[in-house]
Structure 1
Amino acid sequence: MLLGTYARWAVILLGRINYLNTGIDWTRAVLGTYLAAGAHTLSEIPGERALSNTCFAQLIAFFYGQDDQGLRRQAFDDILWVVLGWLEAIKMIDYRKETFEDSEWAGAEWRKPFAQRALEFYLLAEGGWDTALCAGGMLWSPYLDPYKNAITNELYISASIGMYLYNGDRNERYLFNAIRGHEWLRNSNMTNKQGLYTDGFHISNVKGVGEKICDVRDEMVYTYNQGVLLSGLRGLAEATGDEGYLSEGFELVDAVVTSENRVGEIVRDGILTEKCDIGGYCSQNGHMFKGIFFHHLTLFCEPLPTVSSNSALSGAARSRHLERCTDLHNFIRKNAAAAWSTRNLKGVVGTWWGAPKHVSSSDKFETILDPGAVDIQNGGGIGRPLSIPMDNTPGGDLNDRGRGRTVESHSGGLAALRAVLRVAERS
């Protein structure tokens, strides 16, 4: 069966399963984002609009079920995941309004409440911008020791430009925030020599006198830290007409694809791989990361409009964008096929997409971190050699180790398959 058929089936499945209840606050927000994205994709297929409506109905239920009061007291990155989720829903509604016949339900009445929630959470997140430490940048959390990390700043950039482009009034403040956030991140020295974003910076002098600079970098590299910025860069290019943002995005993607056997390696045998995948110790967070990368890569490679908000990107720029995204087709297809090959008998996708299929009791799989890297997202562990088979791995299935297969790991496979449908099969 063609991989595109698998992709379409996977997106349809996303609208049929009740998968939101087992996540934690931020992973549920991302799962809601995938639900909105799936509804959008299904809306583009005339024969699948009934299933798109099913996705939409589940999204409405998720809106009411989201713990919006509890999330307001979370870290700034958690808050920003909420913003991105409802912006994705707004884009889906706008597409339906523009393309559906008058006799078809587009769900336009839900745009206002979705947009309002995105706005409320964005205004909360704005409070995380801090100039007292490191001359700018977003704080990760208002409740912990100051930490300026890649993901919170990338989320701020992508959410800010998303608010500017999709939430109604083209408020120049949002564009300013996106540009300012990008300039700070670009100059923060947060990338390693491979060009990959490390996790973030601590401030050694945070409680002393004198200048407070970001000087203690955690060298840990996660896949999602290379993904979220991509949608922000694409949005900045669309809003400003500056192709340089697209060039920066392609440089980051190239750094990912060519990272094998280099510092910060997150690709093995051409397949995106989290460090914790190999050692089998991924947390609920770690199970989510690869799907986030592919979701934002998909957004980055969506066809560019002929007219942007300020000045149109040239036809040559749009052609270069299409050509370079075309160069990624094999990478996208290989990863989607690898993810889908990890399904168990129940059809649930595993988290280590490149896991060997045949193992023996003498095989060992060890996570080795780069010097200066601390895997705080997966319990702070470095990872230990694990012999297979283990008590909890019947048949020697490496994806049954640790937390096993989860809603988060499964959603990552769906995101990779959707990338095939939206990018590799569209152009």
Structure 2
Amino acid sequence: MKSPRSISVAVLAASACATASLSFVPDGLSQPNKAGNGTVPPDLQVIDDVLEALQVMQESYFQPWLGTWPTSIDWTAAVMGSHISGALQSLSQLLASLRSSEPRDYQVKENLVATYFTQLVGYYFGQDAFAIRNEAFDDILWVVLGWLDTIQFIDLHTALHYQAGGSQTGIASNQQIPRMLVNQSWHGNLWMSAFAHRARIFWELANKGWDEKLCGGGMTWNPRLEPYKNAITNELFISASIAMYLYFPGDDNASPFADDTTAGMENETPTTTGWKPHDSRYLDAAMRTYAWLKRSGYNNPLSNNTRCDVPNGMLYTYNQGVILSGQLGLFKVTGNTSYLFDGHRLIQDVIAATGYDIKTNRPVDDISSLPPGRIPYWHGLGRAGILEDVCDVRGDCSQDSHTFKGIYFHHLTAFCAPLELVSDLAPAIEERAFRQVKEAHTQACKTYVGWIRHNAMAALLTRDAEGKFGMWWTVGLLNLTMDTLDIQEGDLGPEDPTAVDYRNGDVPDDPRWGNPGKALIPPNNGLREEGGQKPLIKRSNVDWDPNNRGRGRTVETQGGGLAVLRALWEISRHGRS
């Protein structure tokens, strides 16, 4: 079994591509297992579950008059925006396939899309953009990704429903209607410039985090915590930069903050001509950061170390996901299959680290043989084939960690989308070779569907009577309650002396992380709420649900449920044979 540390660095290993025998599928599994690996048409019940998860998320947590999810924090709200945009992309493609000439059908379709899109528009105004400008660079980059996800949805929905060759509008062709109505594009395009402007401003703010004086390069996590550089900020910069190169439509708005955000930037575009799409700066930033990340080995500098050779061995699920959309984007514009190899290797290592074998399409441990109340062995990123963060069992997950698994599945969905090159940007690739790469990518993604379904079904079993998802999905799979749960020493996995769980607890006040007596990061609000948290302590006779511990069910855990269901729908749909 791979050690937890090997999972974190798996993405760093590039693979050479031999075209004659190209395959991203693991050795010993030449064809996907037919038992649930996408070789049958996807179950329409899954899209019903996706839409229900979306409805509960918005009706329970979103407040239109505030334009946000009030219980979220700045960065998790940006992620919720990405989840909404992703769900809308899936919905738009589904509606395009359900063709009808009945005007009433069109009204129902458009109303459903407009309901959630208008909430995204409301969030544009509800997002506290001024506050996020002063936060850490990773917080800033979630904003970039969020609005680029929305831009991708607008482009897709317009192409499918409002352009020549798109799906029908529901108006019969023999009806006499004004030309003005026929020539109208989708109203969502009115907001494209606003979303693009915010994405561009925030990317330029984040670009200030790139530093070559310390550690030979890389993104600083927080301008007030130099020289600390972590994996997530660099992964975000890769994915956000390549997404800017691919999807940013341009921006001719020179305000606000044009002077301070572009000051000192190399090759900056003059504000008099605007910022153009496909600017090489974005591609250069993505490739430069990816190269640095691979060299670094995901090592994080501590204290006064400027060489980046003292690691923090802590693993989080979202660290394994954000890089995936960046890898796909880099392949799209370079045609370099090493990015795909890196991505598939990382996905397969993550699946193995949950205790799931994609060759047999089942967990490696015999769950049926577990004594009552016991939980399976911890494999590094989960147990019983279910993705977990280390805080799940303890029940002390912070608001940050509540968001992590949803982020993983959102970017896994992006990575396993049907493969394509951007013809105007990518180098010429021989058609036969590209077909082989595309088929190898599709076949590999098919092998993941069984594991995704396993996680989605477990997540569904954590829903309460209101349809809200819990954080610890394994509980749903094992049907455990606080009455039966039997946590014993060693169930949390081996202790890693280099691991500091700064996302759920405090940064240690010791010389390795800073000067003694000087607090580097305030206590996490997820652990310091009134009354504290009592992991695995039953509070009352009716409090039987382990997912009611700590923060309980939140908008972030709902986003996680939505994301894993959407991953199941999209990847099984694309993987049909």
Corresponding residue for 1:367? 492
Query: Is contact 1:16–1:55 with CA below 8 Å preserved after alignment?
Result: no
Q: Aligned to 1:343, what secondary structure does the other structure show? A: coil
Corresponding residue for 1:405? 553
Corresponding residue for 2:336? 242
Query: Is contact 1:399–1:405 with CA below 8 Å preserved after alignment?
Result: yes
Distance verdict in 2 for CA 1:4–1:99, change over 3 Å: closer
- How many percent identity over aligned positions? 42
Deviation at 1:105, TM superposition (A): 3.1
Query: CA separation in 1, counterparts of 2:541 and 2:74?
Result: 29
Q: Deviations over 1:143-183 (max 9, x none)?
A: 12421100000000000000000003111111011000000
Query: CA separation in 1, counterparts of 2:312 and 2:379?
Result: 11
Q: Deviations over 1:32-61 (max 9, x none)?
A: 111122222222232643211111100000
Matching residue's letter, 2:202:
F
Matching residue's letter, 1:129:
W
Deviation at 1:260, TM superposition (A): 4.1
Give the alignment partner of residue 79 of structure 2, picking from 21, 30, 33. 30
Corresponding residue for 1:173? 281
* 1:420 lines up with 2:568 in the alignment: yes
Query: Is contact 1:97–1:106 with CA below 8 Å preserved after alignment?
Result: no
Q: Aligned to 2:314, what secondary structure does the other structure show? A: strand
Q: Which moved more, 1:391-400 or 1:240-249?
A: 391-400
Query: CA separation in 2, counterparts of 1:243 and 1:147?
Result: 31
Q: Any gaps of 5 or more consecutive residues in structure 2? A: 1-43, 63-68, 96-107, 163-181, 250-276, 356-376, 509-526, 528-532
Distance verdict in 2 for CA 1:142–1:264, change over 3 Å: farther
Give the alignment partner of residue 92 of structure 1, picking from 153, 165, 168. 153
Q: Find the structure with the greater CA-based Rg.
A: 2
Give the alignment partner of residue 305 of structure 1, picking from 399, 414, 420. 420
Corresponding residue for 2:190? 109
Distance verdict in 2 for CA 1:60–1:387, change over 3 Å: closer
Corresponding residue for 1:266? 381
Deviation at 1:358, TM superposition (A): 3.0
Distance verdict in 2 for CA 1:387–1:136, change over 3 Å: closer
Matching residue's letter, 1:216:
V
Q: Which has the higher contact order (CA 8 A, sep 6+)?
A: 2
Query: CA separation in 2, counterparts of 1:307 and 1:108?
Result: 22
Query: Is contact 2:321–2:409 with CA below 8 Å preserved after alignment?
Result: yes
Q: Deviations over 1:303-335 (max 9, x none)?
A: 112554222561111111111011100011111
Equivalent residue runs for 1:26-425 within 5 Å? 26-46=75-95, 48-101=109-162, 102=182, 105-168=186-249, 169-190=277-298, 200-206=299-305, 212-260=306-354, 265-305=380-420, 307-308=422-423, 309-311=425-427, 314-355=434-475, 356-359=478-481, 360=483, 363-364=486-487, 367-368=492-493, 369-380=495-506, 388=536, 390-391=538-539, 394-425=542-573
Matching residue's letter, 2:349:
A
Deviation at 1:378, TM superposition (A): 0.5
Q: Any gaps of 5 or more consecutive residues in structure 1? A: 191-199, 207-211
Q: Aligned to 2:288, what secondary structure does the other structure show? A: helix
Aligned length in residues: 412
Deviation at 1:7, TM superposition (A): 2.6
* 1:2 lines up with 2:45 in the alignment: yes
Q: Aligned to 2:211, what secondary structure does the other structure show? A: coil
Q: Deviations over 1:341-361 (max 9, x none)?
A: 100111110000001423436
Q: Aligned to 1:216, what secondary structure does the other structure show? A: coil
Q: Aligned to 1:122, what secondary structure does the other structure show? A: helix
Q: Deviations over 1:191-234 (max 9, x none)?
A: xxxxxxxxx5124434xxxxx20122110000000000000000
Corresponding residue for 1:194? none
- Normalised by the size of structure 1, how large is the TM-score? 0.90
Query: Is contact 1:15–1:54 with CA below 8 Å preserved after alignment?
Result: no
Q: Which moved more, 1:44-53 or 1:75-84?
A: 44-53
Structure with greater helix percent: 1
Deviation at 1:259, TM superposition (A): 1.3
Query: CA separation in 1, counterparts of 2:185 and 2:90?
Result: 16
Query: Is contact 1:266–1:272 with CA below 8 Å preserved after alignment?
Result: yes
Query: Is contact 1:15–1:38 with CA below 8 Å preserved after alignment?
Result: no
- Normalised by the size of structure 2, how large is the TM-score? 0.68
